[in-house]
Structure 1
């Protein structure tokens, strides 16, 4: 009976891990810019979204304003005392969407945004305005008397905080996190995310055959448009060396093409030694008769 109970508990934990960690590998929906320290900490400890502040200069400005506020660090201290926040953060590390979060740094469009921001005076003005805000300086000076600061310090006297850490080994969220590496769907989700072209931003278009337009190539049948060679189609690759031949006129035998030689055609090499495959050169035209000299 005890073994059956243990087996049932293990299957339940595996299902929890599958539901909580192996989420669909789609990119997370775009959300509004956080407004409070708690919202910023929720995003910055989420490994599926925490790189957004560094990819866009428009998000970097409010982020730099938030991390220079004293309330950001008092809220961080409170969050660090809750074991549930650590479970959630480590769970996002196992989420396949974290790969999409960081592989966006390979997108050239991101660097174009930063290059444009580096030449925009408004970007520097916005940064300096937040850094030189007199209200921000006053909040730092008044931090020892901030109620949030005292609330963080008084958490050390709260017995519920110690009770949470004592009960952490029995927390289902911790067991769900520990069972996640045993879930096969986790690895298949990571593999699928790594093979998804959208994971790599605009660089992912190199995996799309329709991105390559080679002029003069023989178009292949299928979904690829005309003038596009599908690098994954073997017949298209072999057609790269095909020499188009002119259609003979009606009622006439096809004459061998002159002036072209396909080095990849064995028949062309064989016909080099076949006299019947070569046409005799035409006789030169007779010179026109010279008029008789006038007397």
Structure 2
């Protein structure tokens, strides 16, 4: 390959003879590739911050966060999207994935669908993507036909747009409101972008979705105050969060959690002195779901 190739496709000369190396040296090279990939995300922090604010504004106004991707980036985007409702209590229908091959890709992983731009247009139209939404399109090369056309169709429909790719001047960046270049460099195994590029994508999407949740008021200090407590582990975590934030013991926290049917934010306010779930939810509505400002309102009222 020549230097005209996308950086993710370049065969890096430092890995010549890789298949003859000792196991420990191969693994060290792979680990080094992942470390460089994670480090590459630091340069993208300003654009990730801009993207998070854009997406949070759309969600706060009643819109959706929509991921568009193909191949390995689709699997990474799907993982991030599935976690957001559980971790931060965002309604399931507000987080959408438009993936080449649909959810069948988890059973039949094939690259054929990546080359179908017409299907991307059909899928974007089927989900009714429009001005109320924010679309995040992810592609290592930045030139995958399905992903490029999917974002193009979303932009044409008026959606806010975020493009993430590992090659500069990627077609995916054209017309995007926010272009995020993750310069993860050549892969240890040339073109195997599930490795370095995938690691950078996972880090970037985790950072993006976490900052979105912070803007939406779903994080207090380092705690997930809107976690969906739907199993024993998460109910125990929710009780600890309530106790920590409200300054009560865990027994009192559990009582508050039961009073709100497992909803953590109003339970925090009840533990802090709100009269009942209705009063707690009214306080949250008045403060745009922000626990910190709602607690400040309770403190000013002298309830406790």
Q: TM-score, normalised by structure 2?
A: 0.21
Structure with bigger strand share is 2
Structure with bigger helix share is 1
Larger Rg: 1
Q: TM-score, normalised by structure 1?
A: 0.21
